[in-house]
């Protein structure tokens, strides 16, 4: 009798372990599994998923995500949420041009679909990464609705709560949020929302550990000329004498609205015009006939045409040609200009911007009907563009400095870099 009970106990234990293991392996929604992608002939080194999380709002918001399991150890590696900025720019910007799982090679003939190659430096090598099109109306997310900082934070928090229910096996993993540009607003406000949710016991629990922001918006006083002038001086882009003169005239405050201060700030911009502000060591062309987004580059200098071409380490990843924002990003309280509105301003003020950009590869790939089908994109989603326009978005969260002070005091790991 004792032997029978022992056998029964062993059997039930084995059955329970098997059920837990099976449910873990099958927790991810199979309908969202990407089995193949146009332009890629290899084997995915880990599982890829894409689809929608529908928020319980009126009207319902459908947020699109692309999720890649870690190629190393998905059960132990952290989960990372990537957010591009804008506001209004798709996170496929980072997916295609920065750290996604593929290098995108432009098609050999005009109109050909780009060819995909595995990226040996993808962030998915060491992390489970979610690329999210946010807010609703950006990228493949829909519908397009008026929104702002605080609403976007709440919506993305709601997305994460539902996402972790869809992928419960990743709830124990450490969770980090990262992004760039206007994600400098998205991320602290989102983490604040998650942190407040944790304090009141919102489920499922999110094992949030920290965040990382690159070139992020933070504070309208410190992000503008009070950042630009010391940076330009420190990098040797302006002379010591000019810097000292500006410092004296502006009395150390380069946001000073005094006319004399504004005049010398304009002189500083003239001195630094023509630079690629996202990488001062790279060339960028400013010919008289060049226009924003120009496709014909046959007349450009050889140094510019070769920009981004290299035999190492990413032989097929041509970079975006200097797609950059104005020095004085107008992130003030209220309605934030769209990318399209900013690029229109480039034609009028060529001293403060880099006028050339090229999102041709991403646009060609993500507007293809077979790609949309492979990615499980809803037919209700608009045609993909890198930055939504028109798009009404309000900056209503104020300075991020109090957010950073509060979050770091609570022990969240933080990296903010330029």
pTM: 0.84
Could you tell me if residue 215 is left (phi over 0), alpha (psi between -120 and 50 degrees) or otherwise beta?
left
Predicted local distance difference test score (pLDDT) of residue 286: 45
Nearest Cα to 98, choosing from 181, 15, 36, 193?
181
Distance CA 211, CA 339 (A): 25
User: Per the structure, how many domains does the chain have?
Assistant: 1
What are the DSSP calls for 271-306, one per residue?
A: HHTT--TT-TTS-----TT--TT----TTS-HHHHT
57-75 burial string, b = 16+ CB within 10 Å, else e?
A: eeeebbbbbbbbbbbeebe
pLDDT tens for each residue of 273-299: 777 666 677 665 444 433 334 444 444
CATH number for position 129: 3.40.50.1820
Domain-embedded: residue 49: yes
Which has more confidence, 18 or 120? 120
Report CA dihedral (241, 246, 248, 250) to the nearest 10 degrees: 180
In a domain, 50, yes or no: yes
- Please report whether residue 299 resides in a domain: no
- Average the pLDDT over each of 25-39, 178-192, 242-256, 386-400 and give the range with the smallest value: 25-39
Query: Which structural domain range is residue 49 located in?
Result: 31-217+390-417
Residue 346's pLDDT is 53
Nearest alpha-carbon partner for 84 in 387, 395, 289: 387
**Does a structural domain hold residue 236?**
no
- The pLDDT assigned to 145 comes to 96
How do residues 161-210 score in pLDDT, each as one tens digit? 999 999 999 999 999 999 999 999 999 999 999 999 999 999 999 999 99
In whole angstroms, give the CA distance from residue 257 to residue 329. Answer: 16
Assigned domain for 329 exists: no
Q: Which two tokens stand for residue 185?
A: 């607003």
Q: Would 167 be classed as within a structural domain?
A: yes
Is residue 60 one of the residues assigned to a domain? Answer: yes
How many Å apart are CA 372 and CA 344, to the nearest integer? 29
Count Cβ atoms within 10 A of the Cβ of residue 392 and give its class: 0-12 exposed, 13-18 middle, 19 or more buried.
Answer: middle
**What is the C-alpha separation between 164 and 4, in angstroms, rounded?**
41
Which value, to the nearest 10 degrees, does the dihedral of the CA atoms of residues 96, 100, 101, 107 take? 10
Burial class (CB within 10 angstroms; exposed 0-12, middle 13-18, buried 19+) of 262:
middle
Task: Please determine, for residue 329, whether its predicted confidence score (pLDDT) is greater than 70.
Answer: no
In a domain, 8, yes or no: no
């Amino acid at each position: 009798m004792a032997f029978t009970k022992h056998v029964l106990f062993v059997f039930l234990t084995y059955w329970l372990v098997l059920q837990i293991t099976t449910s873990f392996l099958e927790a991810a929604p199979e309908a969202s599994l990407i089995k193949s992608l146009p332009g890629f002939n290899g084997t995915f080194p880990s599982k890829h998923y894409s689809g929608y999380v529908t928020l319980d709002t009126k009207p319902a918001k459908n947020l699109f995500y692309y999720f890649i399991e870690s190629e190393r150890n998905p059960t132990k590696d952290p989960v990372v949420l990537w957010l591009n900025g804008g506001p209004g720019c798709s996170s496929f910007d980072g997916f295609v041009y920065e750290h996604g799982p593929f290098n995108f090679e432009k098609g050999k003939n005009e109109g050909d679909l780009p060819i995909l190659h595995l990226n040996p430096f993808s962030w998915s090598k060491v992390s489970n990464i979610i690329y999210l099109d946010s807010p609703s109306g950006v990228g493949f997310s829909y519908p397009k609705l008026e929104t702002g900082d605080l609403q976007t934070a709440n919506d993305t928090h709601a997305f994460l709560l539902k996402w972790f229910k869809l992928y419960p096996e990743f709830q124990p993993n450490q969770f980090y949020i990262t992004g760039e540009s206007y994600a400098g607003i998205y991320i602290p406000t989102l983490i604040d929302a998650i942190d407040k949710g944790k304090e009141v016991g919102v489920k499922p629990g999110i094992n949030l550990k920290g965040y990382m922001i690159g070139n992020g918006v933070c504070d309208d006083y410190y992000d503008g000329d009070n950042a630009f002038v010391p940076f330009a001086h420190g990098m040797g882009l302006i002379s010591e004498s000019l810097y000292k003169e500006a410092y004296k005239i502006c009395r150390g405050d380069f946001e000073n609205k005094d006319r004399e201060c504004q005049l010398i700030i304009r002189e500083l911009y003239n001195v630094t015009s023509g630079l690629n502000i996202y990488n001062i060591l790279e060339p960028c062309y400013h010919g008289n006939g060049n226009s924003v987004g120009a496709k014909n580059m046959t007349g450009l200098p050889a140094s510019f045409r070769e920009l981004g071409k290299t035999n190492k380490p990413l032989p097929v990843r041509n970079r975006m040609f200097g797609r950059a924002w104005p020095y004085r990003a107008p992130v003030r309280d209220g309605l934030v200009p769209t990318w399209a509105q900013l690029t229109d301003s480039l034609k009028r003020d060529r001293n403060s911007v880099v006028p050339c950009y090229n999102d041709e590869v991403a646009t060609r790939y993500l507007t293809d009907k077979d790609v949309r089908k492979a990615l499980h994109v809803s037919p209700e989603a608009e045609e993909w563009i890198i930055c939504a326009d028109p798009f009404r978005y309000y900056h209503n969260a104020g300075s991020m400095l109090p957010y950073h002070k509060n979050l770091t005091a609570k022990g969240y790991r933080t990296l903010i870099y330029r």
